[in-house]
Chain A
Amino acid sequence: MSVERPLLEARGVTRILPAIVPVTLVHDIDLVVEKGEFVSVTGPSGSGKSSLLYLLGLLDVPTSGEIFIDGIATSGLGADALAAIRLAKIGFVFQFHFLLPEFTVIENVMLPMRRLGALTMDDIRTRAGALLKDLDMSDQAEKRPDQLSGGQRQRVAIARALANDPVLILADEPTGNLDSRNSKIVQEIFAQLAREQGRTVIAVTHEESFARSTQRNVYLVDGHIARDERR
């Protein structure tokens, strides 16, 4: 704890898919994200944005290079240790909501907290309710995911990503599947998370307006960082 490390640090991260003709997904990525930064990742289709996000979120493991999350060096950690870091420190939002269809909205939001087990059942329910209220979804809490609109589902997915109060939120085209009105709402939510709650957010997006609303934009081309601009 002597040296204050950045929240997220990637050093020379390369991911090559082994195959007869190996595919390089990302190549020699160096990226430092400080606590509270709101970063958008843009780039042409197939430039490796999703691949980078999976690596930063410890869903995938780099072929070479090192990723530090909240000061923890992650190379060499086993799958269970990586899962534990994901559980406590990282929240994902994907283009598709991926809610579990058998559970109600509030139960879906409760799942990560219940797996972590840091709170009592009552506290978990209270917190899930509060998260849904923040996203203006209180009245949908007892519905099932298939009874919601696309935008509503995505808001539930965001609430679920926030459940364990993660230090890092990773979003892969969270508005990619939404109409423009819902897209605006979700963009607004991310902006609030970053500015008002001071959370660290990295969002991959194709939408100009979304990218413009962030403080920093990382532009990928062919699996490496072509531009990294702060505004």
Chain B
Amino acid sequence: MFWRVGFEIAMAQLLNRRRQTLVSVLGVALGVGFFIATASIMRGSEEDFVDRLVNNQPHITIKDEFRNPAAQPLFLVYPEGAVSLAHTKPREYLRGIKNYAAKVEELSARPGVVAEAALTGQIIVRYANKDLSASVAGIEPEKEMQLTKVETDMKEGSLLRLRTTADGIVIGQGMATELGLHLDDLATVITPAGLVKPMKVVGIFYMGNLLLDEGQVYVLLKNAQVLLDKPFIANQIRIRLPDPNAAETVAAQLESRWSYRADSWQEVNRDILGLFVIRNAITYSIVGAIMVVASFGIFNIISTVVMEKRRDIAILMSMGFRSVDIERIFLIQGALVGVLGMVIGWAIALGLLQLLASIRFSIPGMTDRQGFVLDYGVAQFLVGGFFSLVSAIAAAWYPARKAATVRPVEIIRGAA
């Protein structure tokens, strides 16, 4: 039967010190609000970034490389022998992935998997006496559309027009502007093999990344094989999986099976993903610090109430309230401040998120103005609320214990 009356006593004592209560509630609320806003930016940008990593690139790229040079035959024959060879040169091998068509076919047979053979290399694009060097990717349009976002980023034309045009090329907006190229213009492509070939611009994409917009072009795989003088060769197999998180394991399996180097998107971006961990650690430490400061406010007010209310505590005890009842009254006060701080903190967070969502700024290397990518997940709100409650109750804990140890006789004797 304690809780209702205990709650009312706790409430009444807080209401008696309205201003001080409000200040400590605001302290908590600001902590919660800024935490949620910060966490939303952090998570939002992280998710956005990972999203781009996952959707703009193949999940796994198999390359015509080996992580370790092939073992010398001598070592294969005597695997246990005390053999030493110095200054051996690994065997030279023909670049390109052997039997790539069969591999692509096998991978594509797996449910949900998209696999594409590609050939990459360097070329020069010339138009009106101006040269730009570019990475060329020989691809298959239907599959490329599922593997990366080139097609969604297409401003004019389409990847599919590569199929219907004899010698088509897809270029970026940056290159188009710099060379003065327009859709259906004939650009001249010059290759390291010395080939000079006019190609028709059938698509112009705009990804917002300077490097790609100026320096990446796409042609059909078979055209690339001609341009780069590598008939029937592909140097990449690009794979998209139904579950991007499985990329690391699948890549390891493929590599151990075919021994070609298989890079998962996680492996390629390991350093960036690692940075996110550090960034999150910093965010949470700062929030922790804010909440500690906020809980000093709570500690302060509840300590004051306990000091001031020693007589009331004594009389409640003489009436028959137990020590734990008294302790709970002050813990309830902490919880009340925490809950109020949480709710107001949520409101502050919503306001801050509105504000942040309206901000635009430019980042060097990005061609258009950016806004914060915010994550409106419930998780931050719950975590913020949890922080608030925990720090409020923790701050109330010590003064509440003090109150519980009040000896009513001493107070009543002293007052009489």
List the interface of chain A (C-beta within 8 A of B): 50, 54, 57, 59-60, 79-80, 83-88, 90, 92, 94-96, 98, 100-103, 111-112, 114-117, 160, 164, 172-173
Contact = CB atoms under 8 A, between A and B. Distances in A.
Contact of B416 (A50, A84, A101, A103): A50
B1 interface: yes
Contacts of A84: 320, 322
B319 A92 contact: yes
B320 A54 contact: no
A117 B409 contact: no
A87 B314 CA distance: 13
B312 interface: yes
18 contacts: A59-B317, A59-B412, A80-B323, A84-B322, A87-B319, A92-B319, A94-B416, A98-B315, A98-B412, A98-B415, A100-B312, A101-B16, A102-B12, A102-B13, A112-B320, A114-B1, A115-B325, A117-B2
B76 interface: no
A118 to B, nearest CB: 8
B325 to A, nearest CB: 7
A95 to B, nearest CB: 5
B319 to A, nearest CB: 5
Given A84-B320, A102-B15, A115-B320, A96 B415 contact: yes
A80 B13 contact: no
A59 B179 CA distance: 95
B324 interface: yes
Given A79-B323, A112-B319, A103 B12 contact: yes
Nearest to B416: A95
A59 B320 contact: no
Contacts of A79: 322-323
Interface string B295-319: 0000000000000000110111111
Interface of B: 1-2, 4-5, 9, 12-13, 15-16, 311-312, 314-325, 408-409, 412-413, 415-416
A83 B322 CA distance: 6
B136 to A, nearest CB: 80
Contact of A111 (B5, B409, B416): B5
Contacts of B319: 86-87, 92, 111-112, 115, 160
B320 A100 contact: no
B9 A54 contact: no
Contact of A50 (B312, B316, B413): B413
- Counting chain B CB atoms within 10 Å of each CB, the highest count among A83, A87, A95 belongs to A83
B412 to A, nearest CB: 6
A181 B322 CA distance: 37
Contacts of A96: 415-416
Contacts of A164: 320
A85 to B, nearest CB: 8
Contacts of B2: 115, 117
B317 A98 contact: no
A88 B322 contact: no
Contact of A80 (B315, B322, B416): B322
Given A50-B416, A59-B409, A114-B1, 6 more contacts: A57-B318, A84-B322, A96-B415, A112-B320, A117-B2, A173-B416
Contacts of B5: 111, 114-115
A220 to B, nearest CB: 16
